[in-house]
Amino acid sequence: MELVEAIILAVLAASTPLLIAATGELVTERAGVLNLGVEGMMIVGAACGFAGAWLTGSIFIGALFGIVAGTAMSLIFALMALGLAVNQVATGLALTILGIGLSGLIGAGFVGERIKPAVDLYIPGLTDIPLVGRVLFGENAFVYCSIALIIGVWWFLYRTRAGLILRACGDNHVSAHALGYPVLRIRTFAVMFGGACAGLAGAYLPLAYTPFFIPGMTAGRGWIALALVVFSSWRPGRLVVGAYLFGAVTILQLHAQGWGVGIPSQFMSALPYLATVIVLVLLSRARTGGSTAPAALGTVFVPDR
Amino acid sequence: MQLVLEKRTERSNTIALVSPLIAIALTIVTMLILFAILGKNPLLALHAYFIAPLTDGYSLQEIAVKATPLVMIAIGLSLCYLANAWNIGAEGQFLIGAVAGGWIAVKTQGTDAGAWVLPAMLVLAAAAGALYALIPAICKVKFGASEILTSLMLVYVAELFLDYLVRGPWRDPHGFNFPTTAEFDPVATVPLLIEGGRLHLGSIIALLVVAATAILLGRTIKGFEIRVVGAAPRAARFGGFNANQLIILTFAVSGALAGLAGMIEVAGPIGHLQPGISPGYGFTAIIVAFLGRLNPIGILIAGLFLALTFIGGEQAQITMKIPLDVTKVFQGILLFYVLACDSLILYRFKLVFPNRQVARGTG
């Protein structure tokens, strides 16, 4: 039983950054904007988050640093892709290249430093419940935050008027504009939310997952988050399933390496990336009846005046 | 008062010509500020980056050597981007090409294999790069899977595969446990152009690729199809052009060129397989392609310019202790400015006064 508990805890820990980053990107894409810079925003969030925590000694302030950094990066994207109507694919790539460079620059002084990682929750009584106590009531704040975030996003998108307007911008920006909604402003907020989430997801890595910062520590998680949004068919519920499935694949390969299965470790490490490709193919194939993507995803909008 | 974009009735040819120059100028201004923030003398840093490498023969050769893979990869990518197919996994195709060709070099090591080795390596590298690029292309055409994500995922797979080979079966038994193959034999090495210099045959191959692509795009039907499919997909459909076929073709060509570039880099300046044979050429080439306006001659110039930043970055690190990551920041900022300036070819800024909007009842 302890092994099962350990595996569930490990899967949750590996899935949380994917879930947070993908939740942000889901909102961005539902508003019709394809921001491929998630990896770049995440890695800057990781560097700034670690810097913040190391300088102040507070995980909370570190996470705030990460969020602010991610949001700042996303504003560059918004300025380019929304303000200047630049191709969103190219802008997103530029954001990732810039982010990797910036994070190296910011994080250079912190490589080799360690911090006290985020503590796990402990509620006397509840956390001690056998089987479920540790899993349900013994996580760190990031895990609860990620779950609150995705529930909040679901509620916002499907149960509020603002969410409906945001989805309208993503499906038909011309109509939304004709109805008098400020499409570009709404999209800017969606992009900023995506950036904040990516920054928080990045900050999670050095603050809770490993207590130190290394350059390139996001290792493609931003890209996997992007694939997860496709996997989820742009729906919050499926996003949770997808994120935990991918977390499970990551943990599976780590454990398989530990058990000394006769497969070279590099092949096991390639598993999450290969799984992403296979899942994308299978899903896209199953969806031949019609795309579930927001109709205006990735298209440039310059309001007619 | 508000600044808004307005579509131009015609694309501005003047801005199309000067926009890369404006972008470079803006980037340099931004870099001066960044150097000042880092506490370095901005003008000295600028000199180390852009002037010092141009003043000695060794660095000049080194710029050509670095520009060779950048130009070759970027030429392939430009074909993809012109056809609106987003191959961003050139880094992986570069590595797989190097691995496939390197296989011949490793297997013939120490044998009396003749002059066929290097040509065979180059051909196999190009074929392997093309096949590796065809995976995302076929996933896109057959199943509709986003080629952006699949091609990028395969970069990580290629990195891990190379890592496995040089730490496992191909590791040099006399290499003191370093993760590297033995040095390639002379027949498996790209010949130098100048005895004792750095410049090698690969640079000539890159120039040939530039010339061939210029002819392909400017003078052939295929080139015309590629440009039309990207620029006007509807018109291309009416014209009976097969967009899917062009995605396959452009991906295969760009994969082949990336694979070839990888082989030339490994069989040339590096001389053996090891992890980290590419300092991100596959990604920098994306910048080269856009900075060169997806035009072969433009890409040649842009490739030389970005190679200059690599060399300048190394020199600035040695002489002024400026971190190497500044080069990546520089490249990212440059791409932003290039894209922003390109936007002004199609749009122009206009001042809008809010009271006019209120009068129309939309304010």
Q: pLDDT 10s per residue in chain A (305 long)?
A: 677 788 888 888 899 999 999 999 999 999 999 999 999 999 999 999 999 999 998 889 999 999 999 999 999 999 999 988 888 988 998 999 899 999 988 888 888 788 877 777 777 777 777 767 777 777 788 899 999 999 999 999 999 999 999 999 999 998 999 898 999 999 999 999 999 999 999 999 999 888 888 888 888 899 999 989 988 889 999 899 999 988 888 888 877 777 766 778 888 888 888 988 998 888 777 665 556 788 888 888 888 76
In a domain, A299, yes or no: no
pLDDT score for A161 = 94
Which residues 245-264 of A are in CB contact (within 8 Å) with B? 264
Cross-chain residue pair B148–A89, CB shorter than 8 Å? yes
Whole-number pLDDT of residue B363? 37
Q: Hey, is the C-beta of B21 within 8 angstroms of any chain A C-beta?
A: no
Domain that holds residue A33: 2-286
Domain with B92 in it? 66-293
pLDDT at B359: 46
pLDDT for B163? 93
Please identify among residues 177-196 of chain A the ones whose CB lies closer than 8 Å to any CB of chain B. 180
Mean pLDDT over the full length of chain B: 88
Q: What's the confidence (pLDDT) of residue B1?
A: 65
Asked if the structure places residue A83 within a domain, the reply is: yes
In a domain, B340, yes or no: no
Contact criterion met (CB < 8 Å) for A105 and B326: yes
Which domain CATH number covers A210? 1.10.3470
Please enumerate in sequence order all residues whose Cβ is within 8 A of that of B54, keeping only pairs 6 or more positions apart, or say none: B60, B63, B308
Q: Tally the domains of chain A.
A: 1
Give bridge partners of residue B190 from the DSSP assignment.
none
Pair B310, B285: CB distance under 8 Å: no
Decide if pLDDT at B67 tops 60. yes
Q: Residue B205: which pLDDT band, with cuts at 50, 70 and 90?
A: very high
Q: Report chain A residues whose CB lies below 8 A from the CB of B4.
A: 303, 305
Chain A CB within 8 Å of residue B331 CB: yes
Distances A183 to A83, A162, A301 between C-alpha atoms, Å: 12, 12, 8
Residue A18 lies in a domain: yes
Q: Which residue has the tokens 């994207």?
A: A77
Interface of A with B in 271-300 (CB under 8 A): 273-274, 276-277, 280-285, 287-288
Average pLDDT over residues B140-160: 91
Nearest CA in chain A to B88: A93
What are the tokens at A242?
């997808």
Q: Report pLDDT for B112.
A: 81
Contact (CB, 8 A) for B205 and B216: no
Chain B residues 283-322 with a CB less than 8 Å from chain A: 283, 286-287, 290
Q: Does A97 touch chain B (CB under 8 A)?
A: yes
b/e map A150-187, b = 16+ CB within 10 Å: beebbebbeeeeebebbbbbbbbbeebbeeebebbebb
Tell me what pLDDT residue A291 has: 65
- The mean-pLDDT minimum among B64-73, B303-312, B340-349 falls in B340-349
CA distance B130 to A157: 43
**Between residues B349 and A78, which one has the greater pLDDT?**
A78
**What is the model's pLDDT at position B361?**
44
Report d(CA B198, CA A102) in Å as an integer.
32
Shortest Cα–Cα distance, A143 to chain B (Å): 26
Residue A226 domain-assigned?
yes
Q: Higher model confidence: residue A192 or residue B3?
A: A192
B356 pLDDT higher than 60: no
In total, how many domains does chain B have?
1
Residue A297 lies in a domain: no
Asked, for residue A144, whether it belongs to a domain, the answer is: yes
Q: How far is B116 from chain A (nearest CA, A)?
A: 32
Confidence of residue B49 (pLDDT cuts 50, 70, 90): confident
Pick among B84, B306, B329 to test the A interface (most A CBs inside 10 A): B329
Q: Which of B143, B156, B324 sits opposite A273 (nearest CB)?
A: B156
Which chain B residue lies closest to A40 (C-alpha atoms)? B332
pLDDT exceeds 80 at position B261: yes
Tell me if chain B has a CB within 8 Å of the CB of A161.
no
What does the alpha-carbon distance between residue B147 and residue B244 come to, in Å, rounded to a whole number?
A: 12
| pLDDT band, residue B362 (cuts 50/70/90) | very low
CB pair distance less than 8 Å for B160 and A266: yes
Decide if A300 is inside a domain.
Answer: no
Q: Taking CB atoms and an 8 Å cutoff, what residues of chain A touch B287?
A: 94, 97
pLDDT digits (tens, 9 = 90+) for B167-180: 888 988 887 888 88
Mean pLDDT lowest for which of B139-143, B257-261, B356-360? B356-360
ipTM for the predicted complex: 0.86
> Nearest Cα to A44, choosing from A219, A202, A205, A211?
A202
Provide long-range contacts, Cβ within 8 A and 24+ apart, for B117-124. B117/B185, B117/B187, B117/B188, B118/B187, B118/B188, B118/B189, B118/B190, B118/B267, B121/B188, B121/B263, B121/B267, B122/B260, B122/B263, B122/B264, B124/B100
The kind and range of the H/E element at B71 are helix B57-82
Report the C-alpha gap between A39 and A41 in whole angstroms. Answer: 6
Residue A291 in any domain: the answer is no
